[in-house]
Amino acid sequence: MPLQPGRFDWKRELKASFLAAVWMALLTCPLVVFKINTSDYSITLRWSLLGQVAGGAFVLSAVWRWLLARRDAARRAAQSQDGPPLKDQADRGPAKTWVDVVMGVRYRRQVTGLVILGLMSIPFWASPYVVHIFITALIYIALGLGLNIVVGVSGLLNLGYVAFYAIGAYTYALLNFHFGLGFWLCLPLGALTATILGLILGFPVLRLRGDYLAIVTLGFGEIVRLVLVNSELTRGPRGIGNISPPAFFGLDLNSQVKPVLLKFMPTMNPGLDLNKALIFFIILGLVILTIIAVFRLENSRLGRAWLALREDELACQAMGINRTRAKLTAFALGATWAGLAGVVFAAQVTFINPTSFGFMQSVMILSIVVLGGMGSIPGVTIGALVLILLPEYLRSYENYRMLLFGALMVLMMVLRPGGLIQSVRQVYIHRPAGSGPKSPESPGP
């Protein structure tokens, strides 16, 4: 939306951008200007580079301030406009998001089917590296959707979610290492173990909310990590290796199945590792199952209880909703998907240790939920793909990759604080009796 005249004070904003550039030049002067040559112990002064840093800071600050002013002008214009009459609003029908416009309501199932088929074809033409990073991205999609139940739908801030991820991975690793149990048996056992510990964590935090809940869950995550580091059962920092990949009816996929596939599919990538491909299809199936389950839960009676819990906990309890059951169910279901993802992760890497489940992993999963859109299933899915795939494909800019990553996060949180795809609420329009047919249900902001 264009800015109204007089809304953007160019003189004041350019002056502020100039001061920001000067401040940036002062901060970076010792690092940018002075270059020490260790061979002859000489110092080279690079004043031109400092000028480039200051000029870039000035331009970025000016553009940033203009974008903020444009956003504020759009908000003021939206608040000043009067809403349309009730009849016109009802006759317009449901408002559509940009996802609906792109995909179309009529052909949404067809587009979804094509996307799934495209994903299923990735292992047959892509390199092993691409298959590996897509498996990682799909694992984080499952983790993000599981945390979305706890944080996005229920409003319970959990900073120790990676603990359930670690519990699922170590359940499979320990059972496979000590008892020789296979992947398919350990998959539900890992989910069950994480669910039980999710219930155990849920009981002491029933009365907590906000920052206090975040601190308790953060402490739970650190407790689990320290137990994994110091316990002899988990082999401490040495970790557990030689974890068996998923079996497929007792067949050796690379030696028995791969030659048959190459005969019928001559265009197939000859370097394909069918064990990795099987893990890819397993996690893809789990992601599809997770999306269906989370969607059904959000539109169920339990999902509406979670939404009420997120909006106002006291009002939720006053309406007769069992707050204890809602919280425990949210923690348990979120932990279940983390346990499933942990089992798949252990089968993918075949070696795990406590460093794979640090606090930064919880931050990454939470960033996926916030960046994609809290409570939005397509938003969390796209957020996981962006945060996992983008750093991998920016490896050519290794020195600036995390800087670009951080700048993208800041821009998203300022320009779209609701996430890439915001969660759409259902709003029911009430029309007086005798004023015509009932108005359709329309999503609101």
Q: What are the pLDDT digits (tens) for 342-394?
A: 999 999 998 999 988 988 888 889 888 888 888 888 888 888 888 888 878 77
pLDDT per residue over 401-417, tens digit each?
A: 667 777 777 777 777 77
Q: What is the pLDDT of residue 145?
A: 92
Q: Left if phi > 0, otherwise alpha if psi is -120 to 50, otherwise beta: which for 17?
A: alpha
Helix 377-393 to helix 401-415 angle (10° resolution) is 160
Strand-pairing partners, residue 248, are 251
pTM above 0.85, yes or no: no
Is there a contact between 254 and 245 (Cβ–Cβ < 8 Å)? no
**CB crowding 70-101: b at 16 or more within 10 Å, else e:** beebeeeeeeeeeeeeeeeebeeeeeebebee
Is there a contact between 137 and 388 (Cβ–Cβ < 8 Å)? yes
Largest Cα separation within the chain, whole Å, is 92
Q: In the predicted model, what is the mean pLDDT of residues 113-127?
A: 84
Q: Which of 378, 405, 380 is nearest to 390 (CA)?
A: 405
Q: Does the structure show a pLDDT above 80 at 8?
A: no
Over pLDDT 70: what percentage of the chain? 83
Which has more pLDDT, 125 or 348? 348
Is there a contact between 145 and 290 (Cβ–Cβ < 8 Å)? yes
For residue 185, the one-letter residue type is L
Question: Half-sphere exposure (CA, 13 Å, Cβ side) for 301?
Answer: 4
**Residue that has been written with the tokens 């942990």 in this structure:** 342
pLDDT per residue over 228-285, tens digit each?
A: 999 888 888 888 988 988 888 777 676 777 777 777 776 666 677 788 888 999 999 9
